[in-house]
Structure 1
Amino acid sequence: MKKIIVTGALGQIGSELIIKLRTMYGTENVLATDIKQTDSVMEGPFEVLDVTDVKKMHALTKSFGADTMMHMAALLSAKAEENPLLAWNLNMGGLMNALEVSRELEMQFFTPSSIGAFGPSTPKKGTPQDTLQRPTTMYGVNKVAGELLCDYYHKKFGLDTRSVRFPGLISHVSKPGGGTTDYAVEIYYKALETGRYTSPIAKGTYMDMMYMPDALQAITDLLEANPEKLIHRNAFNVKGMSFEPSEIAASIQKHIPSFEMSYDVNSELQSIADSWPDSIDISVACEEWGFKSIYDLDSMTIDMLENLKLKMDK
């Protein structure tokens, strides 16, 4: 039975990942950590941890007896552009600390990368698993460096590192946390609250997306994958769908015909979105560990609207 420590457990992915991991491995076998505790902390082991404090990270991990580190703490793309120095110190310093603790304690290691690791010179359609990566954002630079560090720790020290490149993640549980693809979450809230939405992303801007249940399944599937079959190990391309703003609006209008969407493009967000692929090739993840997704745009829309209605009615 695994014993897992999760950093950034109150974040967009972490808050839902904790629940899935505790269902799979037992509540007492998953230690949630974050930089501060809130009233919404889920039941089960929790410790306050600043990931830039390597001594405390090592002490907590060792005392818990963890054999797996899931490093989820990070500053997301839009927030990272607002404060590049903080992003570097948190994203890279925290990752180095997590890798070192995992190496010293001989643990399995997972951390998510992102399609933000690609840049404007990357092929935009059918983006290969292995391709040119020259991002133009601090977040992207962090993610490329992180992918290389994880590969280095695997080759140099034999650390069992694993990672996926997530696209935009959509969830009815966690609200947006400062990512460029947040519009694809906000639009559902506004559709139910006001019946209209102003998109900060221009019409025709395709980006890969994934519904959170598929993302969580991808993490646990990769965690359990046979290491002998993992050729790439780190930063597997994964996705659930690719769409542009008018397509998600049209999907919502199938259920809320009166819904209206307009555009007021945010130039900074748009420049980030334009630097990312339109659609990535996920064949390597499918071949090496059987990645698959269940939700497409319309099935996700149905589930999002149903669950958000329930949340708002409470």
Structure 2
Amino acid sequence: MPEEGEEESRLLLRFAAPCDPALIAKWITYQVINTERQEWRCGHEAAYRYRQREGGLDVPYEHVEPEGAFPLGRWLSDQRRAYRAGTMTGERAAELEELGIVWDTADAGFATNLGAARAYYELHGTLAAPRGATILDTAIGQWLTNVRRPSGLGKDPVRAERRVAQLSAVDPDWNPGALGWTVDWQRHYTYLTQFLAEGARLTAIVPGVTRHGDDIGRWLAIQQRNWDRLNEEQQHRLGTLGVKKAPRARKAAPKTATKSGPRAGGEAFQKGLQALAQYIEREGRLPGRSAVEELPDGPHRVGIWVGNQKARRDKLDQTQRAALAELGIDWATG
């Protein structure tokens, strides 16, 4: 059967004078309309087949349907563009919605990741996930890192504000950087809070006490020792848990320095120790060999410094070994 308008266009072409531009233009219009209708019908049928086969219309842009080699992914992208521009008819929009089309794929992707974030929070009690954390086959740590970055929630201020509210509903402290501390600090603080809520004594949380692979005891010791480096809110939060600043250590009796190694109070050793403590407090782990830490007097190659101390560990005195062990250097206790 001829398509709608085909018979009329044939008559127009048959009886039109060869040079009649008005009739020729009308015939071309009919042809364009018919082609567009055919493409819509092909696209709708391809979308229907895809949904029946895959259970939804989450179609990659480059996807081509095998039957008829129809570029379904590109076609659906064109339909979303027409919908946003307001050039799509209500009837067509309703047909696509009946098939389950998602008009805003960005919001759909955010919703999927937000669901994974809720699952992570239920397990850990925080959204301060390490960058490599995964859950429900989602790289949730990297996603959270991305959304914390400037414009990570999108350039549309209304959408960004809505997404902030959604994340805050899961975890009010989802973005520790806005509070003045790191993701690692927030995660360790949360785990410490959980230990205490479960009935653990603060004095029992010593180096080696871990939760989800993080050494909470060592982190706690660092917070107490570096109390003055914490901001007011950090001190307040720890203070409500009963954490206090570590008492000032008594000065050890002066010892005769050996010629084979650095003195415990030697400036080079103390600078290295300071850089190491600062790095661990910020990163929550020991530095790699290439790590460099900034101190007021300039950069210190803290990773190489730790390696050098390990190489001369037999020459370190007891005070130096104890200072390193307190920061979590395992070989210093051997």
Q: Same fold (TM over 0.5)?
A: no
Higher RCO, 1 vs 2 (CA within 8 Å, ≥6 residues apart)? 1
- Give the TM-score normalised by structure 1: 0.22
- Higher share in strand: 1
- Give the TM-score normalised by structure 2: 0.21
Larger radius of gyration: 2
- Higher share in helix: 2
